[in-house]
Structure 1
């Protein structure tokens, strides 16, 4: 079995659901009341008779989706790490995670239907959204592109299947549901991560293990609705994986970024907002983070035009408090280029505010 570096990364989520709320949801009661054994219930009996057919139909759906989509999911092997990818078009382009390709330029690819090893080259990587595209040098017969869905149609509770090569087990499938949508997740930069902060991610209960990165999260219509990327870790358990909490980059982002890479060889319009500063987290007397000190300002950027200077300490963007670099990045990830926001900052011990029109990352 090929070795694979663990992709479980400590995550930062927005918003955070209080533990008490989660416990309340888990403790809910099923609707309806129990009947005595002597009570006749024709509708219940009908439900019992219908159950086998419903289970059979669901199993048929699973088998159909797996049969149609799994051939479009490939295994990607670099010199060190192993991951997954999804065939993007009939020209041999494969979309995957930037952290799967790392700094490598060539790869070995294995398809679901063959043990033949195919050579592929990097087209471009975009770490800001943890996406990359590689291209097969030769498109084998029978390999077809996956169909990507509409992220707007993704709903909590939808049944989904995660397809990829967890722990090197190629063409593996796990199942779960969409647990949440619209998550903003910060990926760590250690252990091979890109440090990306990605918005609108799909949270799923389908198992995502090392090697699943770059694969496919698929609905029962056979549409790829996301690219599995991260698994949560529980810091209270020494950083071990938190079961049933995984995240996938939404199909809309995948199509936007991969489409530009295929067409132009690089990302030309990121769609991500930027303030145009580099900074560092500052802490107060109690060593708690209190803001982001501006180290440098990009000439002609949003901050420069708004009058923000090196040495200023940014404490708020819009109505969102800014205490760390991560919180600033997360806030900007939820905004679009061209958005006008109020930036609050401290200069010389005094608080100021200014309006800034955000640029593009």
Structure 2
């Protein structure tokens, strides 16, 4: 009875599945993917702006052995994309799933997982060749993404496995902050720093995507994307897709990009600073309340205020007092303090420093 039911469910779901993927003419529709995944580099050569890493990996792909790797640098610079592209080229599409274990920060990666899951995968020996006849390396790859969020005991448990299983397994640790990786692990890996992407490189990638997706855009909108993403290509591509969905038929404008990114309009920041330097405390209270009530993130306001203060024509002593307060407010906001009170606290320090100028 159970077997019959099991078979029946398989039969009933199959036509539905085909119906979902088949178009009106019977052809299968391409899967809808986020553009970040759709335009992720498929091979090492496609990785932008990270020449040293690409050079080392290309040598490994030519037959030289691969060391344990440690990739670190800001988000959205291609760390995960690079190792995934290299693994696909090394093992081919068929063996890729068997030979690569990828664990992210969202997975459980405490000491127990390192001792069991990682250790068991590392101990497996690999055999078999690629169907296309290309040579296949005799090792597996374990990718530990966001490795800086692993606990110190879990990292310590990893170092012995790294050494013991070096014949059959290579590790690739990926993190934003190398200082959070324990010294014994960093000394066992070849370290590569991923630089924030140059504006020109980002500009080119975004233009390529616009061309492939047949988007209408202005040069100002592409420049705005590069500016608000601050070297993070993933963020820039996500904003571009959001802007394209928002203006389906119309041109993507700079205004749309700025709104999607949640950037506070320069006019608002200038107005707030003007009140700090020349207004009264009552006016300041109202201005801060308005800007917070508009729904802008306090951290975003903080960043833009900081930039504006650095460019302002005041003494270095005043700038240092304001930036010190900015750091304190940033920490308080990270700890969950009230946004309005923190912004008011910072603006009152700016006002206090401005009075010394008069």
- Would the TM-score normalized by the shorter structure come out above 0.5? no
Q: Bin the TM-score by the shorter chain.
A: under 0.3
Q: Tell me the TM-score normalized by structure 2.
A: 0.27
Higher strand proportion (structure 1 or 2): 1
Higher helix proportion (structure 1 or 2): 2
Give the greater-gyration-radius structure (CA): 2
